[in-house]
Chains A and B, each alone.
Chain A
Amino acid sequence: MESFGALYERYHSPMVALAYSMLADRHLAEDAAQEVFAIACRDIESLKSKERFAAWLAGICRNVSRQMLRANRIKPAALSDEHAAQSGSDCGDRRDTIRRAVWNLREAERELIVLRYFDGFSQARISEVLGLSPQAVNGRLVRAKRKLAKYLKRNGFTGDYHGTS
């Protein structure tokens, strides 16, 4: 139990971030992460290689999040019309544009971006959680950010940006 507790402490936050990358809702993401660890308890015997625990957990997390999206037929909040309608001010519009840019990335790229900025995870930690090589993480982050920058610049954002709020 103690060792599972240690794993929980280590991977809870990345799982919330990963779920958040799919659900775009902080509360749902926390619920998803809770469920991930319950499933991990149930299925731990099916884990064949201890070294792949984090990637295995990430796989469960993606599935749980997909289930939640499907079950609730929810649309990521960042993209919903309701959200867009609420953000009337310029700042709100800017935030909304950035959000939309992030949630329109491919799933694999969005995961990396959210993990990187959700809790400032290092590339080494992201590499561990997603089961990717550090080179792959670096390359994909660069590409994802290039796409974001291009989209945002096309929508009026510039290098002299000084925050959104």
Chain B
Amino acid sequence: MERPDDNKWLDEALTEIIGSEKPRTDFEQWKQQHPNAVKMLTSRAGRESFVFQSPLRIRNIIMKNPLTKLAIAAVVIIACVIGLSLWRTTGSGIALADVMAHIEQVKAFRFQFSGKMTGEDPNKPYSSETRVTMLISQEYGRKSKHEQLDPNGGWSKFKFEEVYTFPEKKTKIRIIPKQKKYWRIEEDDVFAELMWQQNDPSTFLKKILECKYESMGRATMDGIEVEGFQTTDPNFSYFGAGKNWQSDVKVWVDVKTRLPVQGDATFAYFDQMGDKKYSVHLVMHDFQWDVPVDAAEFEPVIPDDYTGTVIKYPAHITEETAIQGLKLLVELLGKYPENINDVDETVLRLAEKSETPAAMRLKEELKGLTEDEISNKLVDFLMPIRGLGRLYNGLRWDNKDPAYYGKTVTPKDADKVLMRWKVLDNEYRVIYGDLHAETVTPEKLAELEKALPK
């Protein structure tokens, strides 16, 4: 097994940069600087003996005097005003940050995730609704049931699948009953990390915390007193939404438990001309916190007559993987595909129509095979293309500002940007049409993109 300390030169460099004088740990000084915290600790330690009795007795005595009542009322109002101004000064985000700390302590919880995507182009009406039931356990993993609304009505079993994710093992299992099929996917490092974040209320909150947000005040939701928080910050980013997206994100938190009751997000995507192309509405609801779970719930049950495909992604999907994927796409299609978001799913459909030597060879090899046989036969063959899609989606999720221009760039274009993403604030990595790559400044990238065919 590789040890993390095998690179001596790197250890020396990191020790020099990060390692520093040991922080001074002085509890006495901390106590002096935080008298209120000390008071809270001390009073809590003695609570069982006196705290619940003595203040009540004093209150009964002083409240008998009407003048005292008035004075107390005035003090309460002043205290509320001060409290409110403090609340604003410190930002209600402190309360929202507490919510994350509370979620981190919950061992298992369930909730529902509903989503609706609507195409806004009147010439291409489109609507799709999904709902996901999630069970998240810190100990055992994650289990979800995904359903899609049948265009003919009803949730039925039109598109239904069960997904088990085990982030620590970097493994995901998808079971699709309608196809009597399952997929076991061993994820690359980036997607393994994303497993922790996808469909996760903590990530949702974390993204809000990273933005400018406001408290919407208190309300009652399903009989529960809640406080709402909202952000419309253009920097809000979730499932890759970011640039060119408009977001309106809200979360309501139970005032007592400080755990979310509902999350609600509306995203609208605008094209370069400023026209709304489509909108997405997501709701996280029906939270059940601290539910008892059993290990058996997280053991996938796969009937004997189901067939399976195993996909093992390499741990590191790199620029080289992406270049291999782009090369393979050109061999199969004779050009770059227009987009690479779902390229692994569409490439076979595109290759079907292609007459390049590579596509003809592939079609010959697949002739007469069943769908399952084709899936299994193509696992290795399609890996670079899948890797390309992975890399691109991972960059989107990671806010690395990726872009792809396969619609206008050809394999002969040695000076045109085919794909790019941000490496650092002042560095972009660019893959050109002829598949050579280099790092450029944002200014140089702007020049290159200006020269792209419209």
Chain A residues near B (Cβ < 8 Å): 1, 4-5, 8-9, 12-13, 16, 26, 30, 33-34, 37-38, 41-49, 52, 55-56, 59-60, 62-64, 66-67, 70-71, 79, 95, 98-100, 102, 104, 106, 108, 113-114, 116-120, 123, 133, 136, 138, 141-143, 145-146, 148-149, 152, 157-165
Whether A163 contacts B12 in the complex (CB less than 8 A), given A46-B102, A117-B19, comes out as yes
- For chain B, the count of residues having a C-beta within 8 Å of the partner chain is 57
Contact B101 A56 (CB under 8 A): yes
Contact A98 B105 (CB under 8 A): no
Contact B91 A98 (CB under 8 A): no
Contact B209 A116 (CB under 8 A): no
A-side contacts of B20, CB under 8 Å: 26, 118
Whether A60 contacts B101 in the complex (CB less than 8 A), given A118-B18, A118-B19, comes out as yes
Whether A59 contacts B101 in the complex (CB less than 8 A), given A26-B20, A66-B209, A118-B19, comes out as yes
Any A CB within 8 A of the CB of B17: yes
The CA-CA distance from A141 to B20 in the complex, in Å, is: 20
Contact A41 B91 (CB under 8 A): no
Chain B residues near A (Cβ < 8 Å): 1-4, 7-20, 22-23, 25, 27, 30, 33-34, 36-38, 40-42, 44-45, 91, 93-94, 97-98, 100-102, 104-105, 168, 189, 193, 206, 209-210, 212, 258, 315-316, 398, 423-425
A-side contacts of B100, CB under 8 Å: 59, 62-63
B-side contacts of A79, CB under 8 Å: 424-425
A-B pairs with beta carbons under 8 Å apart, 24 shown: A5-B27, A30-B23, A41-B40, A46-B101, A56-B105, A62-B100, A63-B97, A64-B97, A67-B97, A70-B210, A113-B14, A116-B4, A117-B17, A117-B18, A119-B22, A142-B4, A145-B7, A146-B316, A159-B7, A159-B9, A161-B10, A161-B13, A164-B17, A165-B16
Contact B40 A42 (CB under 8 A): yes
Contact A136 B9 (CB under 8 A): no
Q: How far is the CB of B287 from chain A (nearest CB, A)?
A: 17
Q: How far is the CB of A145 from chain B (nearest CB, A)?
A: 6
B-side contacts of A114, CB under 8 Å: 18
A-side contacts of B193, CB under 8 Å: 106, 108
Whether A67 contacts B94 in the complex (CB less than 8 A), given A8-B30, A152-B13, comes out as yes
Whether A117 contacts B42 in the complex (CB less than 8 A), given A63-B97, A143-B189, comes out as no
Q: Please name the residue on chain A nearest to B290 by beta carbon.
A: A48
Contact A48 B18 (CB under 8 A): no
User: Does more than half of chain A's interface fall in helix, strand or loop, or is it mixed?
Assistant: helix
Contact B10 A13 (CB under 8 A): no
Q: From B9, B18, B22, B210, give the contact of A161 (CB < 8 A).
A: B9
Q: How far is the CB of B155 from chain A (nearest CB, A)?
A: 36
Whether A149 contacts B7 in the complex (CB less than 8 A), given A98-B14, A142-B2, A143-B189, comes out as yes
Contact B398 A106 (CB under 8 A): yes
Q: From A5, A43, A98, give the contact of B17 (CB < 8 A).
A: A98
Whether A119 contacts B9 in the complex (CB less than 8 A), given A5-B27, A136-B168, comes out as no
Q: From A26, A38, A157, A163, give the contact of B37 (CB < 8 A).
A: A38
User: Does more than half of chain B's interface fall in helix, strand or loop, or is it mixed?
Assistant: helix
Contact A1 B42 (CB under 8 A): yes
The CA-CA distance from A62 to B1 in the complex, in Å, is: 31
Q: How far is the CB of A92 from chain B (nearest CB, A)?
A: 12
The CA-CA distance from A63 to B22 in the complex, in Å, is: 23
Whether A43 contacts B19 in the complex (CB less than 8 A), given A9-B27, A113-B14, comes out as no
Q: From A100, A145, A152, give the contact of B424 (CB < 8 A).
A: A100
Q: From A37, A55, A113, give the contact of B34 (CB < 8 A).
A: A37
The CA-CA distance from A49 to B36 in the complex, in Å, is: 25
Q: From B18, B30, B105, give the contact of A34 (CB < 8 A).
A: B30
B-side contacts of A142, CB under 8 Å: 2-4
Q: Please name the residue on chain A nearest to B11 by beta carbon.
A: A117
Q: From B9, B34, B94, B102, give the contact of A41 (CB < 8 A).
A: B34
Q: Please name the residue on chain B nearest to A165 by beta carbon.
A: B16
A-side contacts of B27, CB under 8 Å: 5, 8-9
The CA-CA distance from A63 to B423 in the complex, in Å, is: 26
Contact A49 B91 (CB under 8 A): no
Contact B18 A63 (CB under 8 A): no
Contact A145 B10 (CB under 8 A): yes
The CA-CA distance from A119 to B22 in the complex, in Å, is: 6
Q: How far is the CB of A152 from chain B (nearest CB, A)?
A: 7
Contact B33 A102 (CB under 8 A): no
With contacts A66-B209, A66-B210 known, what are 15 further pairs, Cβ within 8 A?
A26-B20, A30-B23, A37-B30, A59-B100, A64-B97, A79-B425, A98-B14, A106-B193, A106-B398, A117-B19, A136-B168, A152-B10, A162-B12, A163-B13, A165-B16
Q: How far is the CB of B259 from chain A (nearest CB, A)?
A: 10
Q: From A1, A34, A49, A102, give the contact of B14 (CB < 8 A).
A: A102
A-side contacts of B18, CB under 8 Å: 102, 113-114, 117-118
The CA-CA distance from A3 to B266 in the complex, in Å, is: 47
A-side contacts of B105, CB under 8 Å: 46-49, 52, 56, 59
Whether A158 contacts B34 in the complex (CB less than 8 A), given A44-B44, A141-B4, comes out as no
B-side contacts of A118, CB under 8 Å: 18-20
Whether A119 contacts B19 in the complex (CB less than 8 A), given A37-B30, A56-B101, comes out as yes
- 7 shortest A-B CB distances, which residue pairs? A63-B97, A141-B4, A41-B37, A161-B9, A117-B18, A16-B23, A12-B25
The CA-CA distance from A102 to B210 in the complex, in Å, is: 20
